[in-house]
């Protein structure tokens, strides 16, 4: 049995594990849904952060959200894409981390999310923390405990 009595990992700040905002695909809330769909398709991501003009986190956008917004009764209404804004279809209720949060908070939240947006004290988007990064750190810590 692995003993996790040492709380060092859980209390560790997340700052070393954040993927910087300049490396994260995103859209702005005023962009067209067509642009959002293009970004999602080109990157292959299931969802991306939505930011305002001051780079504050506003929500998340997925292809499913856009598709649902343009579904008509008998066909997909592609002509709506150009006039539909990201802010009209995005998810506004977003679970996020603060840059000052601990690894434990990230671990608790990432169970239900592939990635978590990270913001600073002003709400400015600083990057993301992925489930992959969290699992890699946890694996590294556990293997270190087993072999020590």
Summarised one tens digit per residue, pLDDT across range 25-54 is 999 999 999 999 999 999 999 999 999 999
- 100 part of a folded domain: yes
1 within some domain = no
Q: Is residue 71 part of a domain?
A: yes
Residue 104 lies in a domain: yes
**pLDDT at residue 12, as a whole number:** 81
27 in any annotated domain: yes
Q: Return d(Cα 136, Cα 35) in angstroms, integer.
A: 33
pLDDT class of 11 with cuts at 50, 70, 90: confident
* pLDDT for 13: 84
Q: What is the pLDDT of residues 89-143, one digit of tens each?
A: 999 999 999 999 999 999 999 999 999 999 999 999 999 999 999 999 888 888 8
Q: Is residue 2 part of a domain?
A: no
pTM greater than the 0.85 cutoff: yes
Q: Is the pLDDT of residue 1 over 80?
A: no
Residue of 130, 116, 109, 106 whose CA lies nearest to 9: 106
pLDDT digits (tens, 9 = 90+) for 63-82: 999 999 999 888 889 899 98
Q: Is 83 inside a domain boundary?
A: yes
Residue numbers of the domain that contains 106: 8-146
Domain assignment present for 3: no
Q: How many domains does the chain have?
A: 1
- CATH code of the domain in which 16 resides: 3.10.580.10
């Amino acid at each position: 049995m692995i003993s996790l009595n040492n709380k060092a990992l859980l209390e560790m700040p997340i700052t070393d594990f954040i993927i910087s905002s300049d490396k994260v695909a995103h859209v702005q809330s005023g962009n067209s849904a067509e642009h959002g769909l293009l970004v999602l398709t080109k990157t292959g991501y299931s969802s991306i952060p939505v930011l305002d003009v001051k780079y504050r986190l506003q929500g998340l956008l997925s292809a499913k959200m856009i598709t649902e917004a343009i579904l008509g009764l008998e066909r997909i209404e592609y002509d709506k894409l150009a006039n539909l804004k990201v802010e009209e279809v995005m998810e506004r209720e977003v679970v996020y981390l603060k840059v000052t949060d601990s690894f434990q908070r990230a671990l608790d939240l990432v169970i239900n999310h592939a990635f978590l947006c990270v913001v600073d004290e002003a709400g400015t988007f600083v990057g993301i923390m992925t489930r992959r990064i969290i699992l890699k750190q946890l694996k590294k810590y556990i293997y270190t405990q087993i072999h020590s």
